[in-house]
């Protein structure tokens, strides 16, 4: 059932609800089990649990029913098995990198990864004796050139944020596997509905479940799943040892959110395509980036990766720099100006003052990220409402740009 959520309110299988009280295993909704500590029948029974011969839990930091239930649902969507749910997307990335790599190993990462992933590769892994190289994931030759004999992991995202460029996943997977390294794909942006990472050569898939999967900006959670069960065990032990554990309540909330994920994704995607067209027709809009638009610079590669599932993210640039950007936001008071993505409602962010404020203006210019550059995480609102908001926002930005000219 790859790419699909299982029947939203069915327990996956009563046997896959270990740890829930017997009477709650057939509950229509997933029960919430906040206990930290589990009793067991005795030393032999504990051996059986620790050695994998019996289902069960011991201590919530090492795993608990709500994390297991949520992981099984995301496994079904990704076409994976034995995935691990952790306390945030960064916890998932940390568990993958530190659970698998050792000092002396080398990691290659896309140079437009999520900001904290970049920081981990630039600063934290080298501090621990794991060397790293960043390269452009849109150019497989530069990734291949960065790979060394001691490279253990190559980590990329499918569509870059907020520049919405496509990674050359097929060639990167080939170069990674030829070197005996593992390809880690952060599928947060594209989601399993847009991109089936294992089918495109991923050895490990990671998610910030915080974003589209949970979908309501009310939990932080992550997920990691390897093809190889020994790697999943390593990730699970990193979770337990480094204390990257997800809260049962957050898992329970995310599972509730996941029940409507497919509906939310489809609606948001439809809105994003329509809003991209609308923006392109507004005065003062210099360019619109949406993976499904005919003028997208990576059109053919996007279609090869995503088929027709182009997602909910739109970026655009207006003339007039910071003054126009301020006017745009001020003219849309009902549209949350907030640097996040994947909420059920539309949010607007300004990379130059949020996600990419650490770069120099020249560094941002290289990425095409001027003061007039915005990113929209499109939600499920009535599209007419969104059109009205952005008509007003673009008109105000255009007026500000002309006043300054
Ligand atoms: C948000 C995000 C992360 C980090 O996830 P958290 O849940 O905030 O820790 C990682 N990768 C991508 C692509 C993200 O958007």
Q: State the distance from the centre of ligand 1 to the C-alpha of 39, rounded, in angstroms.
A: 35
φ and ψ at 189, to 5 degrees? Answer: -70, -45
Residues with Cβ < 8 Å from 116, sequence gap 6 or more? 90
Helix or strand (DSSP H, E) at 285: strand 285-289
Whether residue 1 is predicted with pLDDT greater than 50 in this model: the reply is: no
What is residue 32's DSSP assignment? P
Q: State the distance from the centre of ligand 1 to the C-alpha of 90, rounded, in angstroms.
A: 6
Q: Which residue among 17, 73, 114, 264 is the active-site one?
A: 114
d(CA 206, CA 387): 34
d(CA 315, CA 279): 10
Mean pLDDT of 330-337: 96
Whether residue 2 is predicted with pLDDT greater than 70 in this model: the reply is: no
Q: State the distance from the centre of ligand 1 to the C-alpha of 163, rounded, in angstroms.
A: 16
Tell me which of 5-9, 152-156, 332-336 is least confident.
5-9
Per-residue model confidence (pLDDT) at position 111: 95
Whether residue 155 is predicted with pLDDT greater than 80 in this model: the reply is: yes
Per-residue model confidence (pLDDT) at position 29: 85
Nearest CA to ligand 1 atom 4: 89
Reference 125, options 148, 141, 108; nearest CA is 108
Q: State the distance from the centre of ligand 1 to the C-alpha of 207, rounded, in angstroms.
A: 7
Reference 155, options 302, 130, 163, 229; nearest CA is 130
Helices 89-100 and 229-242, packing angle to 10 deg? 110
19: three-class secondary structure by DSSP = coil
pLDDT tens figures, 216-229: 999 999 999 999 99
φ and ψ at 362, to 5 degrees? Answer: -70, -40
Q: Is 211 a catalytic residue?
A: yes
Choice between 141 and 14, residue whose per-residue pLDDT is larger: 141
Percent of the chain with pLDDT over 90: 88
Q: Is 102 a catalytic residue?
A: no
Whether residue 48 is predicted with pLDDT greater than 80 in this model: the reply is: yes
Q: Is 116 a catalytic residue?
A: no
Give residues (CB < 6 A) around ligand 1.
88-90, 114, 117, 157, 186, 188-189, 208, 210-211, 220, 222
Mean pLDDT of 259-288: 97
Q: State the distance from the centre of ligand 1 to the C-alpha of 369, rounded, in angstroms.
A: 20
DSSP letter for each residue of 244-256: -PPPHHHHHHHHH
Identify the band that residue 21 occupies on the pLDDT scale cut at 50, 70 and 90. Answer: confident
DSSP letter for each residue of 79-119: T-SS-EEESSHHHHHHHHHHHH--TT-EEEEETTS-HHHHH
Tell me which of 14-23, 103-112, 137-146, 154-163 is least confident.
14-23
Q: Which residue among 165, 211, 256, 309 is the active-site one?
A: 211
Per-residue model confidence (pLDDT) at position 239: 98
Nearest CA to ligand 1 atom 5: 89
Whether residue 187 is predicted with pLDDT greater than 70 in this model: the reply is: yes
Whether residue 73 is predicted with pLDDT greater than 60 in this model: the reply is: yes
Q: Which residue among 105, 186, 203, 343 is the active-site one?
A: 186
Domains identified in the chain and CATH numbers: 80-248 (3.40.640.10), 261-404 (3.90.1150.10)
Identify the band that residue 3 occupies on the pLDDT scale cut at 50, 70 and 90. Answer: very low
φ and ψ at 153, to 5 degrees? Answer: -135, 140
CA distance to 62, 213, 370, per residue, from 78 (Å): 23, 12, 36
Whether residue 5 is predicted with pLDDT greater than 70 in this model: the reply is: no
Identify the band that residue 11 occupies on the pLDDT scale cut at 50, 70 and 90. Answer: low
Whether residue 14 is predicted with pLDDT greater than 60 in this model: the reply is: no
Radius of gyration of the chain (CA): 22
* Residue 134 tokens, joined: 């960043």
Alpha helices in 184-342 (DSSP H): 191-194, 229-242, 248-258, 261-280, 299-306, 321-330
Mean pLDDT of 324-334: 97
């Amino acid at each position: 059932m790859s790419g699909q959520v299982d029947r939203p309110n069915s327990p996956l299988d009563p046997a896959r609800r270990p740890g829930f009280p017997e009477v709650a295993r057939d509950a229509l909704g997933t029960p919430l089990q906040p206990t930290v500590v589990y009793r067991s029948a005795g030393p032999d029974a504990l051996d059986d649990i620790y050695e994998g011969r019996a289902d069960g839990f011991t201590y919530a930091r090492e795993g608990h029913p709500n994390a297991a239930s949520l992981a099984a649902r995301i496994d079904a969507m990704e076409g994976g098995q034995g995935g691990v749910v952790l306390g945030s997307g960064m916890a998932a990335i940390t568990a993958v990198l530190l659970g698998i790599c050792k000092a002396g190993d080398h990691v290659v990462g896309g140079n437009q990864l999520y900001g904290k992933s970049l920081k981990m590769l630039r600063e934290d892994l080298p501090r621990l004796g794991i060397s790293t190289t960043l390269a452009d994931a849109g150019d497989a030759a530069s990734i291949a050139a960065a790979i060394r004999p001691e490279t253990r992991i190559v980590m990329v995202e499918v569509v870059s944020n907020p520049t919405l460029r496509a990674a050359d996943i097929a060639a990167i997977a080939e170069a990674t596997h030829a070197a005996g390294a593992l390809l880690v794909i952060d599928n947060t942006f594209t989601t399993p509905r847009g991109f089936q990472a294992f089918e495109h050569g991923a050895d490990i898939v990671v998610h910030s479940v915080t974003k589209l999967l949970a979908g309501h900006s009310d939990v932080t959670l992550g997920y990691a799943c390897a093809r190889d069960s020994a790697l999943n065990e390593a990730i699970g032990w990193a979770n337990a040892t480094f204390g990257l554990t997800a809260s049962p309540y957050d898992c329970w909330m995310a599972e509730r959110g996941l029940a409507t994920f497919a509906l939310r994704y489809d609606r948001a995607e439809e809105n994003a395509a329509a809003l991209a067209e609308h923006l392109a027709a507004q005065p003062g809009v210099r360019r619109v980036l949406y993976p499904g638009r005919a003028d997208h610079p990576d059109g053919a590669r996007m279609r090869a990766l995503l088929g027709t599932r182009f997602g909910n993210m739109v970026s655009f640039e207006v003339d007039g720099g910071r003054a126009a950007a301020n006017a745009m936001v001020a003219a849309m008071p009902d549209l949350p100006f907030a640097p996040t993505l994947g909420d059920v409602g539309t949010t607007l962010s300004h990379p130059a003052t949020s996600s990419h404020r650490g770069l120099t203006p020249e560094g941002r210019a290289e990425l095409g990220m001027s003061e007039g550059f915005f990113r929209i995480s499109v939600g499920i609102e009535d599209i007419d409402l969104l059109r009205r908001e952005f008509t007003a926002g673009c008109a105000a930005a255009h007026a500000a740009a002309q006043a300054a000219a």
